[in-house]
A and B are shown apart, each in its own frame.
Chain A
Amino acid sequence: MSREQTERWAPLILLVLIVAIWELTCTVFAIPEFIFPSPLEIGRALAEFTAPIALAAWQTFWVTMVGFALSIVVGVLLGFLVGSTRLAYAALFPLLVAFNAVPKAAVVPILVVWFGIGLGPGILTAFLISFFPIMVNMATGLATLEPELEDVLRVLGAKRRDVLMKVGLPRSLPYFFASLKVAITLAFVGTVLAEMTAGDSGIGYLMQTAGSQQRMALAFAGLVVIGAMAMAMYELFSYVEKHTTGWAHRGSENV
């Protein structure tokens, strides 16, 4: 196998290895299912409850997507504002940092009071947890402009808007796509968090219920599904990133 092929298959091989060790450990030490289910038992739970799991996964997925879409809109707008005007940066940035440090688990009960049990808190938590990286990356991309290039354009009578549109925005695109990858995984965390504490549907709710009934295999099945969804979305955005802003990655691969 060539080095490149090895690299491509490495994650899968590692996964298989971990699953095998896990299975072996559970069997050898006869760990009961309600404490730590073996992969086989999780697989069985997945097969047995396919329909409810798929329903919950779909629910979690679209709630996450709505929250994520919100965070793209707000993150881009705020990032643009913060990255393009000094005053906005000075005024907004410290507050946003403080806000980002607030544990979102602590916010969910407040959201429940405002929006009730259900979808509202899920969407909002996904949004609250994931807009920050998008905003920061947008702002960074816009703010890193060579002074020489700015002189070249300013002397031609370029307005701030011209410089932002011609240089700032394209330059911030790779930062933006990189942030999407991080943000989408965070958005899943947000949704599941809200579903667990205040949901009546979705994977988080399913896991919460399964856990309270000591059906650990089902709870773990939920984890697997969330992990798979987040990974798939991450890969999707990596693909989009590579194919839209290849110029920013020319060093690491042979474009």
Chain B
Amino acid sequence: MQPQGTGPASFVDFQDVWLAYNQELLEKQQFAVEAINLRVREGEFIAIVGPSGCGKSTFMKLTTGLRMPSRGRILIDGQPVTGPLKISGMAFQAPSLLPWRTTLDNVLLPLEIVEPYRSNFKRDRAQNADRARKLLARVGLDGYADQFPWQLSGGMQQRVSICRALIHEPRMLLLDEPFGALDAFTREELWTILRELWLEKRFNVVLVTHDLRESVFLADTVYVMTKSPGRFVVRKEINLPQDRDLEITYTSAFSDIVHELRSHIGAIRKPARAAPAQTKETAP
């Protein structure tokens, strides 16, 4: 039932990865995430769920090479990570579009920065703009390319943000609670859009969320993280059909998976509640 894996080699490979945010914390043995072992196939969609402050965002920083692990090794596509990985695109809960740029120019922003597009940006402008317009049309924003961000609704802005993350055709898309600020209907609509985009282009996706239904509907594999210590405790393969319709979220098979994951988080929370030390964000 799993997507056709491309060979035995994993695309993302975390080998016993630990991260403390600075030297001081390292000496005190306070890690934001610890003992992460993870193997992700090429083209796999994974979701990471867990309570806030459990180190989900830290995991993203490690995967993109924005942070180096204190211990352990990270391989992406067989290569050790040594710095920011340009093959990744990121989108966050806040669309953080630039208000002085049109939708189109916002989407094109990465191409002004990342090579090889950067050097030829002026020359290939028309071609790039064409690609951006197609991508925008793909997420249902046909005709909005020349509007400014403030003229768009929150859901539309988030779609633009996702287009911006995808314009340089990254092999890895990292989404940090991208639908967290949207209303339920818009959110579900964007789920299906994201799912379709992924089925079409088959990039790797790492989705950080605390919406269990979202993680089950979207991902091939869901990982559950605990807070302090930030560890991966459960790995759950979602054996739902590849062509997923929103209807599936009302089936009992779907609810059973959500329920099961929920019970893992419930089990995790009990000892955490007993411990007094809590609610510290792991971000620096």
Residues in chain A within 8 A of chain B (CB atoms): 146, 148-149, 151-158, 162, 166-167, 170-171, 173, 245, 247-248, 250
Residues of B within 8 A of A149 (CB): 96
A148-B96, A166-B113 known; A154 vs B148 contact (CB < 8 Å): no
Q: Closest Cβ of chain A: how far from B123's Cβ, in Å?
A: 19
Report the separation of the CA atoms of residues A157 and B116 in the bound assembly, to the nearest whole angstrom: 11
CB-based closest 7 A-B pairs: A156-B114, A148-B92, A149-B96, A247-B99, A158-B113, A156-B113, A155-B64
A156-B113, A157-B115, A166-B109 known; A146 vs B94 contact (CB < 8 Å): yes
Inter-chain contact B98/A167, CB cutoff 8 Å = yes
Inter-chain contact A148/B94, CB cutoff 8 Å = yes
Q: 1/0 contact trace for B89-125 toward A, CB 8 Å?
A: 1111010101110000000011011110000000000
Q: Closest Cβ of chain A: how far from B147's Cβ, in Å?
A: 12
Inter-chain contact A155/B96, CB cutoff 8 Å = no
Report the separation of the CA atoms of residues A250 and B100 in the bound assembly, to the nearest whole angstrom: 11
Tell which of A152, A155, A170 touches B164, judged by Cβ atoms closer than 8 Å: A152
Report the separation of the CA atoms of residues A156 and B86 in the bound assembly, to the nearest whole angstrom: 5
Report the separation of the CA atoms of residues A150 and B21 in the bound assembly, to the nearest whole angstrom: 18
- Nearest opposing residue in chain A for B109, CB measure: A166
Report the separation of the CA atoms of residues A226 and B70 in the bound assembly, to the nearest whole angstrom: 64
B84 at the interface (CB under 8 A from A): yes
Residues of B within 8 A of A250 (CB): 99, 148, 150
Inter-chain contact A155/B90, CB cutoff 8 Å = yes
Tell which of A151, A156, A247 touches B100, judged by Cβ atoms closer than 8 Å: A247
New A-B contacts (4) at CB < 8 Å, excluding given A162-B113, A247-B100: A146-B96, A152-B92, A247-B148, A250-B150
Report the separation of the CA atoms of residues A149 and B90 in the bound assembly, to the nearest whole angstrom: 9
Report the separation of the CA atoms of residues A17 and B171 in the bound assembly, to the nearest whole angstrom: 69
Inter-chain contact A170/B84, CB cutoff 8 Å = no
Report the separation of the CA atoms of residues A156 and B113 in the bound assembly, to the nearest whole angstrom: 7
Total chain B interface residues with beta-carbon distance under 8 A: 29
A170-B98, A247-B99, A250-B150 known; A153 vs B66 contact (CB < 8 Å): no
Report the separation of the CA atoms of residues A152 and B148 in the bound assembly, to the nearest whole angstrom: 20
Residues of B within 8 A of A157 (CB): 84, 86, 113-115
Inter-chain contact A151/B90, CB cutoff 8 Å = yes
Tell which of B66, B92, B115, B168 touches A154, judged by Cβ atoms closer than 8 Å: B66
- Nearest opposing residue in chain A for B91, CB measure: A152
Q: Closest Cβ of chain B: how far from A174's Cβ, in Å?
A: 9
Inter-chain contact A170/B86, CB cutoff 8 Å = no
Inter-chain contact B66/A151, CB cutoff 8 Å = yes
Inter-chain contact B88/A155, CB cutoff 8 Å = yes
- Nearest opposing residue in chain A for B110, CB measure: A156
Residues of A within 8 A of B74 (CB): none
Report the separation of the CA atoms of residues A151 and B113 in the bound assembly, to the nearest whole angstrom: 13
Residues of B within 8 A of A170 (CB): 98, 100
Residues of A within 8 A of B89 (CB): 152, 155
Residue of A148, A156, A171 with most chain B CB atoms under a 10 A cut-off: A156
Report the separation of the CA atoms of residues A170 and B66 in the bound assembly, to the nearest whole angstrom: 25
Inter-chain contact A248/B99, CB cutoff 8 Å = yes
B65 at the interface (CB under 8 A from A): yes
A166-B109, A247-B148 known; A152 vs B65 contact (CB < 8 Å): no
Q: Closest Cβ of chain A: how far from B158's Cβ, in Å?
A: 13
A157-B114, A158-B113, A250-B150 known; A152 vs B84 contact (CB < 8 Å): no
19 contacts between A and B (CB under 8 A): A148-B90, A149-B96, A151-B92, A152-B165, A154-B66, A155-B65, A155-B66, A155-B84, A155-B86, A155-B88, A156-B84, A157-B115, A166-B98, A173-B100, A245-B100, A247-B100, A247-B150, A250-B99, A250-B148
Report the separation of the CA atoms of residues A173 and B164 in the bound assembly, to the nearest whole angstrom: 24
Report the separation of the CA atoms of residues A155 and B64 in the bound assembly, to the nearest whole angstrom: 7
Q: Closest Cβ of chain A: how far from B45's Cβ, in Å?
A: 19
B85 at the interface (CB under 8 A from A): yes
Q: Closest Cβ of chain B: how far from A168's Cβ, in Å?
A: 11
Inter-chain contact B66/A166, CB cutoff 8 Å = no
Residues of B within 8 A of A146 (CB): 94, 96
Residues of B within 8 A of A245 (CB): 100
Inter-chain contact A152/B98, CB cutoff 8 Å = no
Residue of B100, B115, B165 with most chain A CB atoms under a 10 A cut-off: B100
Residues of A within 8 A of B86 (CB): 155-157
Report the separation of the CA atoms of residues A153 and B88 in the bound assembly, to the nearest whole angstrom: 11
Q: Closest Cβ of chain B: how far from A23's Cβ, in Å?
A: 48
Report the separation of the CA atoms of residues A166 and B105 in the bound assembly, to the nearest whole angstrom: 11
